[in-house]
Amino acid sequence: MKRAQRGFTLMELIIAMVIIGVLTAIAIPNYTAYIQRSRRAEARNVLLEATVWMERWRTERGQYDRPPPAVAGTAPPLPFTVVPATGAVNYNVAVATPNAVSYTITATAVGLMAGDACSTLTITETGLRGFTTGGGGTQEVCWSR
């Protein structure tokens, strides 16, 4: 009586490894792009929150560049300067020295996001959204997705 073979042949193992390699080659870049988009979305949300904060500042003080007491000659202090607030920093957030009626808030990519397609995101008091590209960035990529 012949006994049935158990296990895999070498050819079956090689085919399985090739399939795993192809799936990995597709999945890792897609996952990396997904993570970058989510970090960029977080930076956009912080910029939008900062515009609300600046409008509140102007409502209370009458203009964007009126400093708090004892801090003359400085831009208003944003309540957040990094994204995310905890953990590894992906963006530095700053308001350029504003004048009485305008400002620009900038989120600059750092750390793991430094090579992102949208290396700098900006927004002004009028809601004008801008970006500086590290390569491949467009208005849609940087602000819509």
What's the CA gap between 49 and 109, in Å, rounded?
18
pLDDT digits (tens, 9 = 90+) for 57-75: 888 888 887 766 645 556 6
pLDDT of 20 reads 96
> Looking at the DSSP assignment, which residues form a beta bridge with residue 82?
92
pLDDT digits (tens, 9 = 90+) for 103-123: 999 999 999 898 888 889 999
Within 10 Å of residue 99's Cβ, how many Cβ atoms? 10
pLDDT of 64 reads 81
What's the CA gap between 35 and 38, in Å, rounded?
5
Most confident of 2-6, 79-83, 131-135: 79-83
Tokens encoding 64? 């964007």
Distance of CA 110 to CAs 65, 84, 115, 123, 129, Å? 27, 12, 8, 18, 20
CATH number corresponding to 10-144:
3.30.700
The C-alpha angle with vertex 21 and arms to 137 and 17, in degrees rounded to 5, equals 175
Q: Which H/E stretch holds residue 28? A: helix 10-61
